[in-house]
Structure formats: structure tokens, C-alpha cells
Structure 1
Amino acid sequence: MQPNLFSDIKSINTFRISVLLIDDQPMIAEAVRRALEDEKDIEFHYCQDPSKAIKIANRIHPTIILQDLVMPEVNGLMMVRFFRVNKETNQIPIIILSTKEDPKVKSEAFSLGVNDYLVKLPDKIELIARLRYHSTAYLYHRQRDEAFAALEESQRKLHEANQALEKLSSLDGLTGIANRRQFDKVIANEWNRAIRNYSPISLLMLDIDFFKLYNDTYGHQKGDTCLKQVAEVLKANEKRPADLAARYGGEEFAFILPETDKHGALEKASSILNMLREANIPHKASTVHTILTASIGVATMNAERGTSPDNLILQADKALYIAKERGRNQLVVSGEE
């Protein structure tokens, strides 16, 4: 069953209207309470001390605030300012209760963010209608914001999942370095970049010497460990963000070196061979050494428009073949055979 991305968002019908009255006169509070007592979907809360109003509002999360305009110690309009700068209450609708109509005061109140203005005490039907209207509008607004937030969160999670999936699909399952699919993608991109930048691009092709004999001697589990160790050596040689070590297939690996000339490629190949020897992986079945060694073919080209990296791969592969033919455990640079 497909999960509902908005399952945590309540239906508008499940919300209860919650009224917070702030007024220093208990008589007004009692009158409002009586007016609302038959409304089963309306909760009534009363605060007589305006200094505690923000704290209470933060705790009960009302859907509407009824507030007296004239209170001891705290000016009603100043109270509105407090609500509007408070993160928890800045969107809650506020209805001002006043003893008289005053256009100037009403104008200032609305400019501060008041939603409605009533002369107290209003008719019961009118009071309830206004409470319902403003609360419902607020709840719809809040629900919309929650829906947008849920959508953004689901999109963020989907993006992260897609990135993780893309990363997994680009890595070799055994060694953890780039797989053949990623190699093909990256070398095509780097080839095109080399064309645009008129820069050289180099490629190393590496083959583990006598790997079949290694597997036959030590077993396939040890063989898998050996492949991982070689991959670690290659990974350690990725010194720049654009460098890419990849498993090309079986015991063959590739190393893409963008913006690298023949001299730089030769240095990198030498570094890999030296580090592999330093890893000191035993290989008693090898005919060239008592430890695991490898052969590397090196190729460098200047990419040209209308061409593909296929020739670069072919040249590196030919150099690798020659290195193996010459006895393995060495590197050969294409063009210097």
C-alpha cells in the first residue's frame, strides 16, 4: 500500500476551535463563556492577567484571540504587537473588543495585524459567526502551510533517496569504487570537457598479474579481498575531485586523469605500482614476484571535436597488453613501446 505523504496533517474537521479571551474584567469573561457554552466544538480559555497572555497562548495554541483594548498596565495595541512578533502566535487571528467605535484606533489596530474589531459585548450569533469564520480561515491557512511543508519534506527525502540510489548504481558492489557504467559516463564527460578546454586527458588501464592463479591458490574469498585492496590503492591515488578510479571488469581497473599530460600520468602509474608493492599482499603462485603485482598501460591524448574517448581507451589497453607481454609487473606508455 502506498504511504500517504500527508498522513500527519489533520483534516480541517478534526480541529477544534480554541478561543483565548484576554480581559481584565471577569464579568466580560463570564458573558463570553455563557455565549459559547452550547457550542460543542469551541473551547473557551480565559486570561485575566495580560502579562501571562503570551505564555498561555504558547501553551494552549488557540485558533483565535479575543482581546480587550483597554487593560491595566498593558495597552491593548501593545499586546497586539507582542503577539505579532512572537513566532508561536504571529499568525493567530486577533479580534479586538472595545467599548466604543473609534476610527483612528481601529485603523491603527488593523495596521498592526488585528483581524477584526468588535464593540463589546456583541450579539451572541454575531460573536460565534466571527469566531468560526476567523478560526476556520486560520486553520485552512495552517493546514495549507503544513501541506506545503510536508510536500517539501517529501521532495527533499525523495531527492536524497534518488541521490543515494544514483550513487549506489554508480559504484562497484564489491570494491566500492566506480563501476564500468560510471566509468563510461565520466570518461565521455571528461573527453568533452577536454575538447572545450583544449587540455590533455590521460587514462591508465591496470590488470592484476596472475589473478586467476591467485584465486586458484587462495580461494575466491581471498580473491575478493585482494580486489578490494587494489581498489583501495587506486582510491588513495584520487588526489583531485576529477580523478576517477574504476573497476573496468574482473581484475582489470581503470584510472581517469583529466587535464593530465603524459608526464603526470606516468607519475600516477608509478605511484600506484609502488603503493601496491608496499601493500605486500602475498602471491606465491606468481611467476614474477612473491607478492601481488600489476601491469599498467598509460595513454594520453588531446581530445578533438568530432572524436570520442574510444581511441584513448584502445591506446591504453594496447599499452597494457604490451606490459603483460613484456613480463608483467611494469608500466608501458602508449607511443613509447
Structure 2
Amino acid sequence: MNKELLQNIVVLYVEDEPQIAQEVSYHLKKYIKGFYTATNGEEGKELFYKINPDIIITDIQMPKLNGLEMIKQINSNVPVIITTAYSDLEYFLTAIELNVNKFIIKPIDLIELVKAIQECIIKNNLQERFFEKDNLLKIINENVLVSITDANGIYMDASSAFYEFTGYNKEDFIGKSYEILKHEDTEESVYERLWNTINSGKVFQEEMKFKKKNAEEFICITTITPSFKDEKIVSYTTIRQDITDKKRLEQLTIEDDLTRLYNRRYFNKIITNELQRVKREKGYFSLLTLDIDYFKKYNDMYGHLKGDSALKSVAKVLKESTLRASDYVFRLGGEEFGVIFSNLNINESLEFSNLLIRKIFDENIEHLGNETTKRITVSAGLITLNYMYFEDEEKIYKYSDDALYKAKHSGKNRVVLSEKSK
């Protein structure tokens, strides 16, 4: 980062969404002393003539005057960076006509934005125009994952970058349904939400998982924009921003290294989120904590490698038995596991919990140190609460842990329901 270059420039930033404007301003003002903000195109135009900026950063869709119309009315050679969630090619083509220098797709990557600012300033000193029209179209084609479908979701065209990334070519892609990229893990409710949004003429944006031609999965921030003709939707333009590597790195921070279950840190986050969600939906919340019986004896008898294998086997059973989107399984530490689930009443939750410990029992993992069963078993404590009786996270965890303690001291290989359940 060339801090000296940034310190000496004047930037006009036009953004109508307060949260985005505040975040971008907070970070860029650390490096750019002459950083000015406006909340719409009219305000931006007035400020432009007052501060004479070296560069303009603007959103497209804004009240009073949109970003592209503002640029058109200003009619200046000042470099322009567009930040937008919209993927309609008409916007791109209009921007090209206005000699826009750079596109940043929302959500804004601040590092990418700073690089774009530096590139614009440097290149503007060397040449009157940053990109000719054909160069910008070429850059979009070679670098942006763009695809176009008709109103029924049949692919009509895509960028070279899209073909290279997904492994498809025009011959085996054009004319195919949008489902060709569909990942089997994606719930139907996601596509229902997608179609309801774009069929109503609105822009859809969400993280989605897809698969390439070779079945390799990838995750993108997916932005789909309808295109209209005579007030009818005739096509949809999709821009995908690949975040696969980023999501994998995030996954490493929330996963337990050994079992690949969620870790204790993520448990602390999810229990809060799920309590809030279930309260909004006026349902039931359940926390089941489980502990492998006589696990120290197991490690002493069979060694730590076998102990690790036993932990992974228990984790596998729990993960394969909790398939709903609202089910979460954690390794809380050592031989202790946790399961968060919802929308089952007390009796249903107890039945589900007993099913889990039976499945672990049925794995028949030898444990001669377990004098009763001669196999790996678990004890578990369950707390189930109706939304009207929620307490704070620490108390709920304690109720489950207390029930686990009772299970441990009343014969093991069982679930004990907390007396606080209601």
C-alpha cells in the first residue's frame, strides 16, 4: 500500500446505505485525509464542484440522482470507481460509455477497493483515459464470472472467465437449465426464495454453493438481476464472486481439528443465535451435552491413537444423525460433545436424544474398561425450553451439564432430562 500516495489525494465517496458508508469511511479515512462523503447523487454533484476530487467512488442505485447519472452530469475526466450489488449488463455498458474505470461488486472488499484507488490515480497520471470501451469489455469478459439466462432459467451466454472457472464450454452449456450448476446440498427453500425475489423484479443476493463440470464444489456471493423489455422480465444476469477459499479458511476457525465438528468457540456463537431465532419463531430450543463413559480408562487401555479414533467414530454418528439445517453438533472439549436442535417439544427431544445414544451404543466399539457393556457408551444431559422460559446461555448450559452429571452417576449410557425443562 502506497500510503504517501493515498495521503495526498482527495476522494469523493457517494453511498446512500449508512452502514456501508460508515464502514468504508472509517477505514479509508485512516489513510486518506481528503475523504469526503455524500449520501446521494445530487449531494455528490454539489460536493464535487466544491472539493475538486482526484477520484470518485460511487454506488449506482441511490435516491434523487443515481451514480451513473451523477457521473454523466459532472462530465469530468476524474477517475471513477463504481461499487454496486447490481449485475445487469446494461449498467456495465452505461458505465463504459461514461468511461468508468473500475467496478467493485458488493459486499465491498476494502483491500480490493484500496488497490483500485491506487491504480486509478497512478494510471490517470499516465493517460487521459483509464480504459477504452473494448478494453473494459475484455476485462469483464476475462475476469468476471458473468452468466445470462432467459426468463425460464435457460443459459443464453456466459463470460470467458465463467467457462474457464466452471470447466464448461459454450457447446455443453448454452441451452442448459440453471440446474446444471446446482449443488445437491442446497435446500429447495433457497431456490424458492431466489425465484420469488427475481420474478418480482428485485435483485437477489446470497451466498450459494454450486458445482463445476468435474463436480468440484465452489461457493459464491451470487447476485442475480432481472432485465426488462416493455416492462416484462426477459432475462437474468448473474455475477458470482468466488469466496470458496475464504469460506474454507473460516471453516478452519470454527472446526475441531480432530473430529471436524464445530468447536467450542462456534458453540458460544451459535447458542446465542439459535436462542434468538427460536424466540422469534416462538418454538422450542434444546441443548444435549454428551460425554463418553470411562474414556480415561479407554485411553489407558487402548492408547491415545485408539482414543482419537473413538472420538471420531462418536462424532461421525452424531453428525450423520443430525441432518436438519437447524441441527448443530460440537466437540466441546476432551470427550464432551454438544448438540443444539430446535422445534421439538420435551417428549420429542427426549426421544431424539435417546436415539442418538442408542446409535452410539450400536456402533459396538470395544471398550473392556466399561464393565457393564464392554463397548463405548455415552451419558447425556438434556435441557429443552419453550421460548417463553428462555434464560441466558450460561444457565442453559449449566442445566444441561447438571443433567449430564446425574446421568453419569445413575448408571451411565442414558439421557437425563433437566428438571428445568419446560
Return the offset for 1:245: 1.1
Do residues 226 (structure 1) and 218 (structure 2) align? Answer: no
Q: Secondary structure at the match of 2:310?
A: helix
Task: Tell me, yes or no, if the aligned pair for 1:284 and 1:291 is still in contact at 8 Å.
Answer: yes
Call closer, same or farther: CA 1:303–1:311 in 2, change over 3 Å.
farther
Task: Pick the aligned partner of 2:375 from 287, 291, 300.
Answer: 291
Structure 2 matches for 1:186-335, cutoff 5 A? 186-304=270-388, 307-335=391-419
Name the TM-score, length of structure 2 as normaliser. Answer: 0.44
The separation in 1 between residues aligned to 2:263 and 2:417, in whole angstroms, is 24
Which of 243, 246, 252 lines up with 1:162 in the alignment? 246
Q: Which amino acid aligns with 1:335?
A: E
Can you list the C-alpha shifts for 1:217-252, whole angstroms capped at 9, x where unaligned? 111111000000000110121131111111111100
Structure with bigger gyration radius:
1
The Cα of 1:304 is off from its aligned counterpart by 4.8
Checking the alignment, whether the CA contact within 8 Å between 1:288 and 1:328 is kept in structure 2 is no
Whole-Å Cα distance in 1 between the matches of residues 420 and 370 of structure 2?
Answer: 27
Paired residue type of 2:135: Q
Task: Give the C-alpha shift of residue 147 in structure 1.
Answer: 3.2
Query: 1:31-180 counterparts in 2 under 5 A?
Result: 140-149=132-141, 152=144, 159-180=243-264
Unpaired segments ≥5 residues, structure 2: 1-128, 146-160, 162-220, 222-239
AA partner of residue 165 (structure 1): L
CA deviation after TM superposition for structure 1 residue 327, in Å: 2.4
Corresponding position of 2:117: none
Q: Aligned equivalents of 2:263 and 2:144: distance in 1? A: 32
CA distance in 1, matches of 2:331, 2:275: 19
Deviations 1:36-70 (A, max 9, x none): xxxxxxxxxxxxxxxxxxxxxxxxxxxxxxxxxxx
Post-superposition Cα deviations, 1:145-185, rounded to whole Å, max 9, x if no partner, equal 23345554699666222112112222211111111122222
Alpha-carbon distance in 1 for matches of 2:372, 2:308: 21
SS at match of 2:139: helix
Is the 1:288–1:329 Cα contact (8 Å) retained in structure 2?
Answer: no
Q: CA deviation at 1:295?
A: 0.1
CA distance in structure 2 between the partners assigned to 1:316 and 1:202 by the alignment: 9
Secondary structure of the 1:202 match is strand
Greater fraction of residues in helix: 1
Secondary structure of the structure 2 residue equivalent to 1:299: strand
Aligned residue for 1:335, secondary structure, equals coil
In 2: Cα distance, 1:146 partner to 1:227 partner? 53
CA contact (8 A) 1:298 1:319 kept: yes
Deviation at 1:256, TM superposition (A): 0.5
Cα–Cα, structure 1 residues 172 and 157, in superposed 2: closer, same or farther, change >3 Å? farther
SS of alignment partner, residue 383 of structure 2: strand
Q: What is the alpha-carbon distance in structure 2 between the residues aligned to residue 148 and residue 170 of structure 1?
A: 35
Q: Deviations over 1:87-123 (max 9, x none)?
A: xxxxxxxxxxxxxxxxxxxxxxxxxxxxxxxxxxxxx
| CA separation of 1:150 and 1:163: change in aligned 2, threshold 3 A | farther
The AA in structure 2 aligned to 1:220 is: H
Could you say which structure has the greater relative contact order, defined with CA pairs below 8 angstroms and 6 or more residues apart? Answer: 1
Amino acid of the structure 2 residue aligned with 1:291: R
Q: Which runs of 5+ in 1 are unaligned?
A: 1-136
Aligned residues between the structures: 203
**In structure 2, distance between residues paired with 1:274 and 1:148:** 56
Q: How many Å separate the matches in 2 of 1:190 and 1:242?
A: 8
Assess if the C-alpha contact under 8 Å between 1:204 and 1:254 holds in 2.
Answer: yes
- Deviation at residue 332 of structure 1 after TM alignment: 0.5
1:57 aligned partner: none
What is the deviation of 1:144? 1.6
Instruction: Report deviation, 1:216.
Output: 0.8
Q: Which runs of 4+ in 1 moved over 4 A?
A: 153-158, 304-307
Q: 1:334 to 1:305 in 2, by over 3 A?
A: closer
Please give the secondary structure, in 2, of the residue aligned with 1:287.
coil
Q: Tell me, yes or no, if the aligned pair for 1:282 and 1:292 is still in contact at 8 Å.
A: yes
User: CA-atom RMSD, angstroms?
Assistant: 2.9
Structure 1 CA distance for aligned equivalents of residues 267 and 343 of structure 2: 17
Q: CA deviation digits over 1:250-280, x for unaligned, max 9?
A: 1000010112221121111111111111100
Q: Secondary structure in 1 aligned to 2:374?
A: coil
Residues 147 and 235 from structure 1, CA distance in 2 versus in 1: closer, same or farther, beyond 3 angstroms?
same
